[in-house]
Structure 1
């Protein structure tokens, strides 16, 4: 029988309609939402009525401050909530995708999340200058870049532990960037937690594709998300996309036409800034691609 009183917990794993919810005593229960609607994401706080010794029913999702999505042509999927800090992992090798970095930064900015780019494998000096040059576009836009080697736990701790303390950070990156090595440096027993929580959810086969939340020994939390190869932004409006580019800020509202799309209109302040080198051609091209994709999907 379910308990009479709902208990607050935090969603730490999610797969379809299956959730791992952690409670104040540290226990994790296998929980399902009431009814057909699936409305929770990793990082959400929820009210749960216990059923038996191991399960529970999610009665209510508590108010969240933000929510991140990933979308493709087929669907939009929410995957992390209540995030304070985005740790976007790239590496000196293999090559990273500027397109994916740009999209993730737009998503973070529209959700009010502070982004930090982590340049991993910085000890591979033969590739370092090339990576730095490619990241210069983002540093000029005010994005901080931290250089480190995930194989050096002391270096990782010095760069990140104080930054994350008291916050919820999302670890995001393409496959092959060293994200798992970085997670293991931050959470030494992450692999053990993964096995334990997967056993609780009876979802062992999803251990490499499931978003999950870990507690850092020094305080703070980190959400690890699977390596991504696409990052659609179909859930965003055209205005939200404009505000997702930090370098657009000084020019928004100063165009000749109030409804300027910043793509072809005469008197566009952003197109003028691009021509004068104040906005990079590559970043503006990404802006145009995102708008075109959303229009093709009939989003607006």
Structure 2
């Protein structure tokens, strides 16, 4: 009996242990992993064995260029691979969380993924200055900030289109930031559902329930991920966390001790930069919180 051929494809959707794999000819197969662990994530390039006409088993996940995690007190979970850049959507209303935004930035920098902050809803003129002031604390991090109004498709394509071509980008944001509206502009065939955020609660309802990859009309790929209300970083080492704060890098070179934690050591270049005002105190406070959280979990 002839052995079934090995097929190569890319995971474009994941829900639990069920995956949609797009093959090189553009056809789709519903796939499952061999064994008990769901090892593949959206963006993975995989080898599968056909199972019937429309299904398959994932035999191997090929080498990744990058991998993003979400984690909480219980576990860390992989959710996207081979991502070139992270687009984090924020808006003047509802008020976005600095803590969540900055944690997502740490995750991107630690994985050597370029982060871009997309300030959406720029037509909300009354609350726009407050949002810009929040983002000004990222001035020394080298983070690119793009302002758009998702209800102005021409503007969105003009400002984001060139950044997305020939790249795999992950679209991420808290609920209510207009992420699904932005997705619909960039990928019309996505037909993502949009909902008005609740004025009473000051937050939005999740409109994305699973992670999915879309091909952009102008080239490149866009991965849409569910809105997040938490972004744990328990999977990161102390070195990874330091790497997640690019404004620390110049100061690190002047630390007296090679294993400096940048919290209390004498001769610390990072603390000296903080004292000079080169590092925002709020950013250094987050760095200390993340270290303390991971230490409390016994991560290192």
| TM-score under structure 2 length normalisation | 0.93
Report the alpha carbon displacement of residue 39 of structure 1 after superposing the two structures with TM: 1.3
Task: Please tell me whether the aligned partners of residues 92 and 131 of structure 2 are also in contact (alpha carbons under 8 angstroms).
Answer: yes
Greater displacement, 54-63 / 264-273: 264-273
Greater displacement, 207-216 / 76-85: 207-216
Count of aligned residue pairs for this structure pair: 288
Report the alpha carbon displacement of residue 7 of structure 1 after superposing the two structures with TM: 0.8
Matches within 5 A, 1:88-237: 88-191=88-191, 208-237=208-237
Task: Please tell me whether the aligned partners of residues 211 and 226 of structure 1 are also in contact (alpha carbons under 8 angstroms).
Answer: yes
Structure 1 residue ranges, 4+ long, deviating more than 4 angstroms after superposition = none
Does 2:71 align with 1:71?
yes
SS state of the match for residue 129, structure 1?
helix
Greater displacement, 88-97 / 18-27: 18-27
Matches within 5 A, 1:37-76: 37-76=37-76
Report the alpha carbon displacement of residue 139 of structure 1 after superposing the two structures with TM: 2.9
Q: Distance in 2 between matches of 1:250 and 1:259?
A: 16
Q: Distance in 1 between matches of 2:71 and 2:78?
A: 8
Q: Distance in 2 between matches of 1:249 and 1:75?
A: 29
Q: Distance in 2 between matches of 1:54 and 1:100?
A: 40
Match of 1:239 in 2: 239
Q: Distance in 2 between matches of 1:34 and 1:243?
A: 35
Q: Residues 189-240 of structure 1: CA distance to partner in whole angstroms, max 9, x if unpaired? A: 10289xxxxxxxxxxxx98310000001111000000000111111110011
SS state of the match for residue 126, structure 1?
coil
Q: Distance in 2 between matches of 1:48 and 1:272?
A: 53
Match of 1:281 in 2: 281
SS state of the match for residue 134, structure 2?
helix
Report the alpha carbon displacement of residue 281 of structure 1 after superposing the two structures with TM: 0.3
Q: Distance in 2 between matches of 1:191 and 1:47?
A: 29
Does 2:298 align with 1:298?
yes
Q: Residues 164-183 of structure 1: CA distance to partner in whole angstroms, max 9, x if unpaired? A: 11010000000000000000
Task: Please tell me whether the aligned partners of residues 22 and 29 of structure 1 are also in contact (alpha carbons under 8 angstroms).
Answer: yes
Task: Please tell me whether the aligned partners of residues 146 and 159 of structure 1 are also in contact (alpha carbons under 8 angstroms).
Answer: yes
| TM-score under structure 1 length normalisation | 0.93
Report the alpha carbon displacement of residue 54 of structure 1 after superposing the two structures with TM: 1.2
Report the alpha carbon displacement of residue 241 of structure 1 after superposing the two structures with TM: 0.5
Task: Please tell me whether the aligned partners of residues 242 and 248 of structure 2 are also in contact (alpha carbons under 8 angstroms).
Answer: yes
Task: Please tell me whether the aligned partners of residues 14 and 212 of structure 1 are also in contact (alpha carbons under 8 angstroms).
Answer: yes
Question: In 2 relative to 1, CA 112–2 (structure 1 residues): closer, same or farther, beyond 3 Å?
Answer: farther
Q: Distance in 2 between matches of 1:37 and 1:254?
A: 44
Task: Please tell me whether the aligned partners of residues 208 and 227 of structure 2 are also in contact (alpha carbons under 8 angstroms).
Answer: no
Match of 1:24 in 2: 24
Match of 1:200 in 2: none
Structure 1, gaps ≥5 residues long: 194-205
Report the alpha carbon displacement of residue 127 of structure 1 after superposing the two structures with TM: 1.1
Aligned Cα RMSD in Å? 1.7
Structure 2, gaps ≥5 residues long: 194-205
Task: Please tell me whether the aligned partners of residues 2 and 49 of structure 1 are also in contact (alpha carbons under 8 angstroms).
Answer: no
Q: Distance in 1 between matches of 2:176 and 2:35?
A: 39
Does 2:9 align with 1:9?
yes
